[in-house]
Amino acid sequence: MSASRRGFLRAAGLGGVTTMAVGLAPARARAAGNERKAAIIARAISYERTLGTRSNASLRIGIAFARESDSSTRDSQAWLDGFASISDVTVNGNAIEVMTFPWEAGVPDRLDVLLVCDGLQWQSAAIADTTGSKRILSVGSVRDYLDDDCTLGVFDVDGKPRITINLTSAEREKVKFSSRLLKLADVIR
Amino acid sequence: MIPSRWTGRALALLAGVAVLAPTTEVAAQGPEPSPNAPANPGSSDSAPVSSQPEEEVEEVEDIEDIENVDLADLLDMDLDEQLGTTEAVSRSDESILRAPATLTTIDTTRIRHSGATTIPELLRGVPGVQVVRNAAGNYLVSMRGTGGLTGNNLVVMLDGVPLNSPIDSSVDWDLMGLAVRDVERIEVVRGPVSTIYGADAYTGVINIVSRQSTLARHAASVRGVGGTDLGPAPVGIGSASYVFSGEKATVKWFGTGRYDDTNNVRDGFRHPPLTQAGMVTSVDVSTSERSRFHVELGGSYSERSSLDQLVLESHPTERGLAFGSIGWSIAELPGVLDTVDVWARSRAQFVRTDPDLFTGFNYTDTNAVRSELGVDIGFDFHRMVRGRIGGQGTVDYIEAPYLHPAVSGTPRAGAAFHGGLSIYPTKTLDLNIHARGDIPPVLGRLQPSFRTSIVYHRDRWSMRLAVAAAFRSPSYVEAGGQFRDPATNFVLLEGNPQLQPPQQATIELGSIVAPINAVTIRPTLYVSASSSQVIADFDPLVQKTYKSEAKPRWMTGAELEVDWHILDELSLAAATGYLRFFKFDETTTPLVGVPEQNSTWTAMLRLYGTTTNERYGYGVGGNVASPRSYVARAGIPPQIIDVDVPYTGYVDGRFEFQPALAVPLWLSATGQVGMMPRLFESPFPLGAQLGGLFMLGLEWRRE
């Protein structure tokens, strides 16, 4: 095979892969790892209409885990890694700052987003109080959180990531999402 | 990797068609979905887990500005999920991608950022739809070759409740009871759909869906808009709404009022202004996990011009409409039973005018009530076969001095039954067959209609072939009219009880294609035969009666719609329609279906969107229709109308903004100008000019 033909096939293959990834990726179902979920969460947050009035130069995301639970700690690390992969991303011009903290240590100051890891279901009432009083957007790591306390979550449905939004929690946290996001999300009232 | 939005979309667009088939072959390998579930063939089982993290790191690592990434791409949404579902085509929830008829949906974003101030104005530019404005609040809307002197050849519904007049199936667009800004979406189904909607839906159906709040549990708004035309003459619109969306119940209330004297002149003659008020309220309750109860009530009153194909004079005419519907539905029943819907609906209409103002025919002292009771049952025989049967009874009560004494004041009953099957032999193929028999109260005899379709669908496109036949019941005026000249007692109009129902049969090939997530293209081709159209028969010289055209009229048409979601904040909609009659009797002039009375082509282009997280909204667009001419006898006593309508069209725009994020107030500016403001588009000699309109508005909106 000539070098030019190999080059052409390589380019065609690359073009095909890129096309599939960009334009036709939806045809192939893929469960979403934390990297993709982090990107989706960041994109969803960019649709939050009051974001500009609450955050300063950066978007502060706190990942809360249960200190005594190994699985909760691992969940928080996975999320930290996920957001690390999009560390250069800005949301409406704001850089993302991500930190993990045990829930028992208390919520850091000036948080814009609280991501609640698995293992904190027993703290649901306290979480709701905190996010409501401090106007923090809550993100649930597992689906259970969305039924009561958290506003936003990304979960796999039939092998594809899907956004879920709890409008009652959103009202409590004084969060307003644009209609464009709500059209693409599963909405709980 | 995910390149920037523009690079990625360009790459995908160029390669889209070539690689569609192979990619969707891969996607087809997965567990079979349930028949009516969105076409979502993949599952996590079909993708190797071990390779995912590496692909995802490659795909997300190049993101810089997150708002430049399309969310639908990140969510791997296929076309079926993006288009969503509709109940407009088959009266049951189904995927738009797989719907067996041509459907255009005008969504809330496009409505909110349009310069249209009435619902018919929103319909301009929908391919296959012809909109003609006669005077303020007075419109004729027709579909696919049935443009002419009447607007009673399609069915218009509000939240699924038909609002056509029981007397002559005409549509009082001023009596919708809903402000434009309270419309969630408008679904325009084109083609014969009598199998679903009964008599009169023989060219299509327009379903107006009232606003549904998705942003908050409680949503409310109060609006005031005022302005002027080029005259100047005033227009003022006020409306208010409240929507509660709870876990188990949705309650909605809408109220609107309008005074409109704009663009209401023609050669020095001024039509009566439009005065209109209306209200709609609905309650939807989930009585259990599988059942829901729904009730809706509405009413409207208006006073406007009397201009009509029987009334060529323009005097104030009062009209009122009240409607109600109640329904209970239950789903997921055991065994082969799937759904049961029991419903009842009723509408009442009156028309009042001062007959002393008229020298000829008028609709005064008209009272009409139509009540219907029905049941629809869905069956789930097998994952590949679903069925549906149903029936309804109808009772009409019509009182009018221009109807034959044997018709006026006599209740008349009708009935209908329907049945159909949907077969899903493969995951990508849907077969539908539906038949219906109607005994309309006017006709008193059985009239069949049917529709059959094949829909082939993949992730990025679908194609449908549909064959359907439907009919319109003759109106009470056409079949049972009797109007006497008050001065001479001569019968100037006599209905014909032997009139055949106008019919239309259509074969249609259509497609929905999305080469990339952001672009949807919907082409349609059709051939239709329209038969037994109603002809106004003036052989008795002065007396008008009706007869059915003997020979069919054949037409062909093409429609193309493109929606391009350019950015989150910018969308483009474009559409064009073409119509050509190729075989017809040139010696007859029916009320509708005359080639010269239908625009050969129409076109529409619109840009709209929001910015700064919806604090600013904008829209600009235009539409154009090719020339028409009307040479016909109309009115009672008859006059010859000879009207040439040149190229007509509008340019419109709307801009709104929220001055302060903390304050839920929006200011708006709306403008609409006829391309040649002194031109007119009405077939009637007094039809008003296109004109122009400019309005400022203030809205308090809590969502």
pLDDT digits (tens, 9 = 90+) for B464-508: 999 999 999 999 999 999 988 878 888 888 899 999 999 999 999
Chain B contact probe: residue of A47, A92, A147, A189 with most B CBs at under 10 A: A189
B566 touches chain A (CB under 8 A): no
Please give, rounded to a whole number of angstroms, the shortest distance from the CA of A160 to a CA of chain B.
7
Average pLDDT for A48-65? 81
Average pLDDT for A11-17? 36
ipTM value for the complex = 0.78
Query: Among residues 231-250 of chain B, which lie with CB inside 8 Å of chain A?
Result: 245-247
Model pLDDT for residues A146-162, shown as the tens digit of each residue: 987 899 999 998 888 99
DSSP type of residue B500: P
Q: Which residues of chain A have a CB within 8 Å of the CB of B41?
A: 29
Return the percentage of chain B with pLDDT > 90, whole number: 66
Q: Which of B65-79, B203-217, B273-287 has the lowest mean pLDDT?
A: B65-79
Nearest to B243 by CA among B199, B284, B286: B284
Q: Which of A28, A85, A183 sits opposite B60 (nearest CB)?
A: A85
Return the percentage of chain B with pLDDT > 70, whole number: 90
Q: Is the pLDDT of residue A22 over 50?
A: no
Average pLDDT for B380-384? 91
Are A33 and B517 within 8 A, CB to CB? no
- In our burial notation (b when 16+ CB lie closer than 10 A, e otherwise), range B32-62 reads ebebbebbbbbbbebbeeeebeebbeebbbe
Structure tokens at B105: 């949906």
Average pLDDT for A169-177? 89
Contact B385, B401 (CB under 8 A): no
Length of chain B: 703
Nearest 5°: CA angle at B480, between B479 and B483? 120
Are A159 and B44 within 8 A, CB to CB? yes
Q: Which H or E run includes A10?
A: helix A3-22
pLDDT at res. A5: 41
Q: Which residues of chain B have a CB within 8 Å of the CB of A159?
A: 42-47
Model pLDDT for residues B78-132, shown as the tens digit of each residue: 888 888 888 888 888 889 999 999 999 999 989 999 999 999 999 998 999 999 9
Please give, rounded to a whole number of angstroms, the shortest distance from the CA of A105 to a CA of chain B.
31
Q: Which residues of chain B have a CB within 8 Å of the CB of A42?
A: 66
Are A31 and B460 within 8 A, CB to CB? no
Please give, rounded to a whole number of angstroms, the shortest distance from the CA of A68 to a CA of chain B.
28
pLDDT at res. B440: 94
Q: How far apart are alpha carbons B389 and B394 in whole angstroms?
A: 17
- Which value, in Å, is the radius of gyration of the alpha carbons in chain B? 25
Contacts of A29 (CB under 8 A, 6+ apart): A158, A159, A160, B27, B30, B40, B41, B42, B43, B44, B46, B47, B76
Average pLDDT for B430-455? 94
| Residue predicted with more confidence, B239 or B28 | B239
Q: Which residues of chain A have a CB within 8 Å of the CB of B74?
A: 36, 39-40, 43, 161
Nearest to B83 by CA among B100, B99, B59: B99
Residue of chain A with shortest Cα separation from B213: A179
Q: Which of A24, A159, A171 sits opposite B23 (nearest CB)?
A: A24
Q: Which residues of chain A have a CB within 8 Å of the CB of B20?
A: 24
Model pLDDT for residues B150-179, shown as the tens digit of each residue: 999 999 999 999 999 999 999 999 999 899
Model confidence band, residue B61 (pLDDT cutoffs 50, 70, 90): low
Nearest to A59 by CA among A105, A104, A143, A115: A115
Q: How far apart are alpha carbons B224 and B89 in whole angstroms?
A: 35
Q: How far is CA B232 from CA A86, B265, B611, B674, in A?
A: 58, 11, 33, 15
Nearest 5°: CA angle at A52, between A48 and A56? 125
Residue of chain A with shortest Cα separation from B6: A22
Model pLDDT for residues A69-96, shown as the tens digit of each residue: 999 999 999 999 999 988 888 888 888 8
B108 touches chain A (CB under 8 A): yes
Query: Among residues 671-700 of chain B, which lie with CB inside 8 Å of chain A?
Result: none
Model pLDDT for residues B191-236, shown as the tens digit of each residue: 998 888 888 899 999 999 999 876 778 889 999 999 999 889 999 9
Q: Is the pLDDT of residue A29 over 80?
A: no
pTM exceeds 0.90: no
Chain A contact probe: residue of B215, B427, B565, B612 with most A CBs at under 10 A: B215
